[in-house]
Amino acid sequence: MSVNKSKYLVIGSGIAGLSFALKVADSGKVNIITKSKMNDCNTSKAQGGIAAVISENDSGESHKKDTMVAGVGLCHDDSLDALVKEGPARIKDLIDWGVKFTKQDDGKYDLAKEGGHSYGRILHATDATGMEIEETLIKRVKNHPNISIFENRFAIDLITEHQVQNNLQSAFNICFGAYILNMENKKVDIFRANYTMLATGGAARVYLHTTNPEVDTGDGIAMAYRAGVRIANMEFVQFHPTALYDPKNEPFLISEALRGFGGVLRNGNNERFMKKYDNRLELAPRDIVARAIDSEMKRNGSDFVYLDMTSLESKEVKKRFPTIFKHCSNYLNIDITKDMIPVVPAAHYICGGIMTNMKGNTSMHNLYASGETAHTGIHGANRLASNSLTEALIFSHRAAMKILKKGYKEEFDNIEIPEWKEHGEQNPNEWILTKHNKQELQNVMWDYVGIVRSTTHLNRALRRTKMLYDEIEDYYNRTNIRKDVLELRNFTTIAYLIIKSALRRKESRGLHFMTDYPEKDDNFFKDTII
């Protein structure tokens, strides 16, 4: 077992982790851990763009109001102030690092409009914004002499005072790094750090249908929960209204920007149905559009609805959405300028996560969180489109500035961290157990903890999740460490947190809709904290 020491340990390689690493790297060594390749993350998949007020026709007050309306009043006021005041400066950071956003013919940035926004304030790089940002940040971190990158590494658990062998009573509620599985040699190493940043992305893979890449299994949130860190608002799972309906392949996101560009939703009878649900039509917030689609599918007994772009200028659609045009053509032989696009809601984003303060601190000393892993208070009960990348930049920056200003006390540098001990033996004949348990868990979450919920269904899901947890924990404790088992263990933790949080909120608000509590209740005008 090797011990890797650094001033900073960053777990995750999306916009949150990489921007934090760049901000702190001049002050000390940074180790970046990612469980796949660097660009295998949610950031790379982001199509729509990143929201900030840079137009003189727009205002911070409008952006703040739009975010609060989408979040159904549950957004934190101080977090929203940071969003609108600091967003433009963080966008400038990206531009200074080399990110190239799409411009109009007059040289001004092309600002798209998406659901819930009053003005065009979405900067984008055609329809591959996340990939442009990710590739630029990867290039920057690879060229920094103080940053080391470790791919194909799986973070198993945080190292706290509970693991150290010569712990002093003063070392309480402190993170010292993490145990990391090297998936190439199957060894577990110690990554020791003064500061640990969890930027592990989302957890929507716990659902059967999701837009998230395979790596997003809620690892950071699950690790933090096991370490006793406070978790909040896990009941608010955002279902993106429009994932491409393509059962034979991995889900593919059909960006909200298509609706912002003029696309309309139609049911199987060719009816434009959003007028029945909200006067903002296709540009209503995501929770409303997703429930509307869900209702139309159930009413008509269909597996999908359609997004219609056929009345729009063909040349402009191809220019604005080249990635989506190519994907639909290659996988379904659809020309989106002539054919309607079959779409279905899919689990997309976790609005809750690891609770942080305004500086990115979690409830554990020296442990920070940013990006979708974190709950900062910006999103409330429903995330406004394209606020997520902005949030990640702002809170990674704030965490970096807090640490750089604070400095580090060397009082715990002599602690002894024990080597990781394998639990048991490898049993290749039981691999089928993890596959079946994963499928069962994802089906339970989709069927009982989805867009529309009830107390009866949630309790049924909780019973099944507890049973699965016992099976998986038993298997984990008697077999050697393996990626699929680790992910499944984290899956069950995430499912438990979502279900428990949902049972505590006896109202309907934003993304959390309960048939037995269909109205908002001001008694629940607060975060759900576990």
The set of catalytic residues is 286
Q: What sign has the CA pseudo-torsion 364, 367, 372, 376? A: positive
Q: Which single residue is written with the structure tokens 């903890």?
A: 449
Cross-strand partners of 198: 11, 369
CA-only gyration radius of the chain, Å? 22
CA distance 364 to 196: 10
Measured CA to CA in angstroms, residue 237 lies from 204, 258, 347, 457, 501 at distances of 8, 22, 7, 16, 11
CA distance 214 to 515: 31
Cross-strand partners of 158: 178
- Residue 305 in contact with residue 266, Cβ under 8 Å? yes
- State phi, psi for 416 to the nearest 5 degrees: -110, 120
- Residue 16 in contact with residue 134, Cβ under 8 Å? no
CA distance 358 to 273: 41
> Which helix (H) or strand (E) covers residue 397, if one does?
helix 388-406
CA distance 517 to 523: 13
- Residue 251 in contact with residue 243, Cβ under 8 Å? yes
Query: How many residues belong to the chain?
Result: 530
Quote the tokens at residue 160: 């706290």
CA distance 423 to 477: 5
CA distance 126 to 121: 14
Q: What is the dihedral of CA 356, 286, 128, 207, to 10 degrees?
A: 70
Burial of 52 (0-12, 13-18, 19+ CB in 10 A): buried
